[in-house]
Amino acid sequence: NAGVTQTPKFRILKIGQSMTLQCTQDMNHNYMYWYRQDPGMGLKLIYYSVGAGITDKGEVPNGYNVSRSTTEDFPLRLELAAPSQTSVYFCASSPGQYQETQYFGPGTRLLVL
């Protein structure tokens, strides 16, 4: 059972470039989340989804976009990369919302230069 998978593991972007971080889960979870973790800090919620076709903003959504066309996939899009977006990005999923344990992917390390 793969759980939550993320690609790529590491990426270097130039300022102004765009990219999509991929996230897939095989647990048939309705809820999916994107977090960022800055050095020495905890995770902050970027966007979340309660099911296919439904997404909502989290604490730090600026500079990002998401879509959820299937239960399994929840890609995160960076349109115009900025140095402030240098971070480690985690995708997570859960069967239900706040009361449920979230299962995390291994993370994507992004460096914007």
The DSSP output letter for 49 is: E
The DSSP output letter for 88 is: E
What's phi and psi for 85, nearest 5 deg?
A: -90, 0
Query: Under the criterion CB under 8 A, does residue 74 sit at the interface with other proteins?
Result: no
Among residues 32, 36, 55, 107, the one that binds other proteins under rule CB under 8 A: 107
Cα gap 76→74, rounded to integer Å: 7
What minimum distance in Å lies between the beta carbon of 96 and other proteins? 11
Q: Is 64 helix (H, G, I), strand (E, B) or coil?
A: strand
C-alpha closest to that of 22 among 87, 63, 80, 68: 68
Footprint of other proteins on 40-59 (CB under 8 A): 40-45, 48, 58-59
| Of 14-22, 61-69, 71-79, 95-103: span binding other proteins (CB under 8 A) | 95-103
Query: Under the criterion CB under 8 A, does residue 39 sit at the interface with other proteins?
Result: no
| Of 18-26, 64-72, 73-81, 86-94: span binding other proteins (CB under 8 A) | 86-94
Residue with tokens 């059972």: 1
Binding stretches for other proteins (CB under 8 A): 33, 40-45, 48, 58-59, 88, 90, 92, 97-99, 101-104, 106-107
